[in-house]
Amino acid sequence: MADRKGLEPPPGWVSPMLATLTGERFSDPGWIYERKLDGVRCLVHRTGDRVSLYSRNRHELNNSYPELVDALTAQQGDFVLDGEIVAFAGHATSFARLQQRMQVNDPEAARRSNVAVYLYLFDVLRQDGQDLTGVELRERKAILRKLLTYADPLRYTAHRNRDGVAYWEHACRQGWEGVIAKRADSPYANGRSKDWLKFKCVTAQEFVIGGFTDPQGSRSGFGALLVGYYESGELRYAGKVGTGYDQHTLDELGRELAALEQDEPAFAKGNLPRSRVHWVKPRLVGQIAFSEWTRDGRLRHPRFQGLRDDKSAHEVIRERAR
């Protein structure tokens, strides 16, 4: 992947508001419901003619998505916006397809890419120097709707009122990742909040890559990834991920893993695989879809979706419904 260094917080930086996973599904007139998009979080800062795109951990994204910078530069005024960058495979957002752009850090190469990207905007934090984080969400959405001229690649994130269960059922039928439920009168808060809730259709989350197995048969690069998550300061093993890789990923990720090899596992002691295993420094984070957790804390039917560089390894924990 492209090597992007973490930056000092830009002027006016507000850490993004994050949704909490829940197993509950509800309809409520005091909440709104938005489609959960399978992409990369993006904080937009515009001051004068300068537009900067940042990931949730303050990596600048301008070189990877120059067409988004162009579209936002053509707008008027100063603002800080919150949204999600996505790519599509058919009618569904595809994190795997977006990977092809995430790995590009050259504007001209990005423009030549055959992967079209879109920025879905769903919140506004500042407008022309005015702090809007204390304003109720419904009003912030109304301000955002009028703030920009929306044309591809910029899209406004529409929402449903009240009917959360019906919208979640619709999302699952359409093959979407799920729905985000948001308390309509909530302010914009730093970090994770129960005012924003995730109604998931697909079970997926980030995991730390702590090792890999040798390839077998005709496969090259590696066989399976060994992944885990942090709990009480220790890296807990969650299982092997052997599917979801194309040849490009096997080759490129295989080279990255080889450069990170170490003699001992970073995982906490326990029932770890030992046959044809290579341990690596726990620096890379992968997005993994799976059917469920087993009773012994392993992933059932896991599938690799792509690498993430918008979350550091030590932030990765097991998501639990609340």
Catalytic residue among 36, 141, 182, 200: 36
Give Cα separations from 135 to 17, 25, 82, 122, 279 (angstroms).
14, 26, 15, 14, 48
**How far apart are the C-alpha atoms of 54 and 82, rounded to whole Å?**
10
Query: Contact, 144 vs 41, CB < 8 A?
Result: no
Write down the residue that tokens 């885990």 correspond to: 228
Quick one: three-class SS letters along 163-192?
CHHHHHHHHHHCCCCEEEEEECCCCCCCEE
Quick one: tokens of 312?
Answer: 């550091």
**How far apart are the C-alpha atoms of 77 and 79, rounded to whole Å?**
7
**Residue type at position 78:** D
* Residue 240: strand, helix, or coil: strand
How many CB atoms are closer than 10 A to CB 6?
Answer: 11
Clarify whether 141 is annotated catalytic: no
Write down the residue that tokens 């807990």 correspond to: 236
Query: Contact, 224 vs 302, CB < 8 A?
Result: no
Query: Contact, 290 vs 299, CB < 8 A?
Result: yes
Phi and psi angles of residue 150, each rounded to the nearest 5 degrees, phi first: -95, 120
Instruction: Report cis status (omega within 30 of 0) of the bond before 153.
Output: yes
* Residue 78: strand, helix, or coil: coil
Residues of 306-316 as b/e, b for ≥16 C-beta within 10 angstroms? bbbbbbebeeb
Residues designated as active site:
36
